[in-house]
Amino acid sequence: MKIPILLSAALLLLLLPGVPAAFSSQTPIQILVTNSVTPSPDRTYSTYVVYRGILIGGMRRLQDSNTYFKFTYTEDQNYGPFLQSVNGLAGCPERRTYWQLLVQSSNDTTIRPNVGIGCYIPNANDTIILKYSTY
């Protein structure tokens, strides 16, 4: 009986005036798909994550709403989601290719996050760069 009461209380807090809207707000991001291995045009997509939401949530939302953006991933027991393919192009160990995750912030600084798509929390107006690369 305690769980339904707690859930009802949590829902009520979200509906009350004066409760921070940040918990239900959207954080806009761009996803740039680029390929440094074979010539192909870059593609940029707009999506969002919820407040403090993870990148994979925004990618799933984009995939559900845009037929031109698709991705697959595998679930690693120790490290979580590992990006396998974007728009039908998969990384390949034999060809030494993979999808690199980079983030360009609104101040034009580009970083390589120390976490993957299942843990990275984007900031507003980040450009998430999914770059097909070699190693």
pTM for this predicted structure: 0.81
pLDDT at 39: 87
How many other CB atoms are there within 10 angstroms of residue 33's CB atom? 22
pLDDT tens digit string along 43-52? 999 999 999 9
What's the CATH code, domain 25-134?
A: 2.170.130.30
Q: Flag whether pLDDT at 6 surpasses 80.
A: no
CA dihedral 121, 127, 132, 135 (to 10 degrees): -70
Q: What is the pLDDT of residues 9-33, one digit of tens each?
A: 444 444 545 445 555 699 999 999 9
Q: Is 38 helix (H, G, I), strand (E, B) or coil?
A: coil
Q: Where are the domains of the chain?
A: 25-134
Q: In this predicted model, what pLDDT tens digit does every residue of 75-129 receive, in sequence order?
A: 999 989 999 999 999 999 999 999 999 999 989 999 999 999 999 999 999 999 9
What is the DSSP code (8-state) at residue 109? -
pLDDT digits (tens, 9 = 90+) for 56-75: 999 999 999 999 999 999 99
> For residue 135, what are the contacts with CB-CB under 8 A and spacing of at least 6?
96, 97, 98
